[in-house]
């Protein structure tokens, strides 16, 4: 990573203003006449107290967080108490002790994910204010990704974008990101899911929101946001995932949407889900379905989950449809001989730049890969790389998504991605 030079033109105004505060005042009384019987007393030079400069974020956001939080202490997310059988954890001395140990251990500390969360908050605040109809999908994606890379101070596999920016429109619920050459323009009547991630040392912060520009689908967004809030509220250590899905569904499907005089029930999309997150692995193995089910799997202390919910005015079930943009190397990828030299070269590049983090075609373009589609498809066919086509409900329907990442701490749960915006 190239260190930022403290040149005046590179330093935000808030920093420049404070840098001159240590200048000395001129000596007082230097022109006074000497006192009788001796020389005049010299008064000591006074110095202004040094003010600690507060670095403020720019628009668009480009100031790395290490300059805004030089002590490395990033804000906590929203803290929520555990419920019912877990309520005792808040006051338990043993659990408090366990939490202190977790905070001190560099391998399990929450600092990395909080840093990623603060990047997400600042970038999405800018995005929500500046994304407007008339922008292309590529412009929107690059606005988000450029901000993310700058604030997290991208450094190889140490820190960077967590996965491709999802900008799925209308009946498409997930896994659409524009490929190079995409000409789709955001329209006034669109419902757009904005799903992007940030990682620090493989700790991925996953959070999403939905944008609309008229009020037709306000109730759809309200339903999905409320369902996500329910999932967060009901989540906890030893909570069964099947029961959690039932609570999410109950909230989601208590809403309906009126469009052009016709009323549509809001449905939980039954074959999409939230998920646990592991280091450098966005889908960690546990799924939080959005409908009631018999999954007895329990959430466990120390895990973190993406609680994401999707609602639809359509059938409430998605299928794979459209051109693929999302890919990821399999965590348990087999070691198979590759016949194509280009596939070997591409795999080497994927390992170096992404590891098992998801990527998209634009990211391959960005690192200088070209004419890679045949090699990429070969890696998919060999089971080394997984492709993730867009996931769509029926045409004419509308879908929405909200998502937060939560940490199941020993004493409380922390909604690390929560901010003032949602």
Tell me whether residue 378 is annotated as binding. Answer: no
Which residue in the list 182, 403, 404, 414 is annotated as catalytic?
403
**What phi, psi does 253 have (nearest 5°)?**
-90, 10
Cα dihedral value 291, 299, 115, 166, nearest 10? -20
Cα–Cα distance for residue pair 83/81, rounded to 1 Å: 6
Active site residue 403: yes
Residue 420 known to be catalytic: no
Phi, psi of 166 (to 5 degrees): -85, 130
With the C-alpha atoms ordered 285, 372, 361, 62, is the resulting torsion angle positive or negative? positive
**Whole-angstrom distance, CA of residue 98 vs CA of residue 368:** 46
Q: Which of 195, 234, 253, 270 is catalytic?
A: 195
> 3-state DSSP call for residue 185?
strand
Q: Which of 50, 72, 59, 65 is nearest to 13 (CA)?
A: 59
Q: Is the dihedral of CA 406, 266, 189, 361 positive or negative?
A: positive
Start-to-end CA span in the chain (Å): 33
Whether 275 is catalytic: yes
Phi, psi of 64 (to 5 degrees): -60, 145
How many angstroms separate the Cα of 340 from the Cα of each of 343, 353, 386?
A: 5, 20, 18
Q: In terms of Cα–Cα distance, which of 174, 202, 175 is closest to 354?
A: 202
Instruction: Write down the catalytic residue from 283, 326, 378, 404.
Output: 283
Ligand-binding site membership of 283 (annotated)? yes
* Residue of 99, 206, 234, 270 with catalytic role: 206
Q: Can 214 be counted among the known catalytic residues?
A: no
Q: Was 275 annotated as part of a binding site? A: yes
Give bridge partners of residue 174 from the DSSP assignment. Answer: 391
Instruction: Catalytic residue, from 308, 369, 393, 414: name it.
Output: 308
Establish whether 295 is a catalytic residue. no
175 is in an annotated binding site: yes
Q: Helix (H, G, I), strand (E, B), or coil: what is residue 106?
A: coil
Catalytic-role residue among 120, 275, 378, 404: 275
Neighbouring-strand partners of residue 403: 208, 308
Per the annotation, does 195 bind a ligand? yes
Maximum alpha-carbon separation in the chain: 101
Residues contributing to the annotated binding site for substrate: 175, 283
Active site residues: 195, 206, 275, 283, 308, 403
Residues contributing to the annotated binding site for a divalent metal cation: 195, 206, 275, 308, 403
Residues contributing to the annotated binding site: 175, 195, 206, 275, 283, 308, 403
């Amino acid at each position: 990573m190239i260190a930022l030079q403290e040149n005046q033109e590179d330093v935000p105004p808030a920093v420049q203003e404070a840098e001159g505060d240590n200048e000395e005042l001129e000596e007082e009384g230097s022109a006074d006449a000497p006192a009788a019987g001796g020389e005049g007393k010299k008064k000591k030079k006074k110095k202004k107290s040094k003010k600690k400069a507060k670095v403020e974020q720019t628009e668009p956001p480009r100031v790395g967080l290490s300059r805004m939080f030089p002590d490395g202490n990033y804000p906590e997310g929203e803290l929520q108490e555990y419920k019912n059988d877990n309520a005792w954890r808040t006051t338990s001395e043993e659990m408090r002790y366990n939490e202190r140990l977790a905070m001190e251990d560099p391998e399990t500390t929450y600092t990395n994910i909080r840093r990623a969360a603060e990047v997400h908050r600042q970038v999405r605040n800018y995005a929500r204010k500046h994304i407007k109809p008339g922008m292309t999908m590529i412009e929107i994606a690059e606005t988000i990704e450029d901000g993310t890379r700058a604030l997290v101070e991208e450094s190889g596999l140490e820190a960077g974008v967590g996965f491709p920016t999802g900008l799925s429109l209308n009946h498409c619920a997930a896994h659409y990101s524009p490929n190079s050459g995409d000409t789709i323009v955001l329209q006034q009547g669109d419902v757009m899911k904005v799903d992007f991630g940030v990682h620090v040392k493989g700790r991925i912060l996953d959070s999403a929101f939905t944008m609309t520009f008229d009020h037709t689908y306000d109730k759809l967004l309200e339903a999905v946001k409320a369902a996500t809030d329910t999932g967060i509220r009901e989540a906890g250590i030893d909570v069964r995932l099947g029961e959690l899905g039932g609570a999410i569904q109950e909230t989601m499907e208590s809403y309906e949407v009126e469009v052009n005089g016709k009323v549509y029930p809001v449905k939980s999309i039954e074959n999409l889900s939230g998920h646990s997150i592991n280091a450098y692995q966005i889908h960690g193995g546990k799924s939080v379905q959005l409908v009631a089910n018999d999954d007895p799997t329990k959430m466990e202390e120390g895990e973190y989950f993406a609680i994401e919910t999707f609602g639809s005015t359509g059938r409430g079930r998605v299928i794979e449809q459209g051109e693929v943009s999302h890919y990821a190397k399999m965590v348990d990828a087999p070691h198979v001989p590759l016949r194509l030299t280009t596939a070997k070269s591409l795999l080497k590049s994927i390992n170096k730049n992404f590891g098992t983090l998801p990527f998209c075609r634009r990211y391959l373009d960005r690192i200088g890969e070209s004419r890679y589609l045949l090699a990429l498809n070969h890696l998919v066919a060999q089971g080394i790389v997984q492709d993730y086509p867009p996931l769509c409900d029926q045409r004419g329907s509308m879908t929405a998504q909200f998502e937060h990442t939560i940490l199941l701490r020993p004493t409380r749960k922390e909604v690390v991605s929560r901010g003032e915006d949602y």
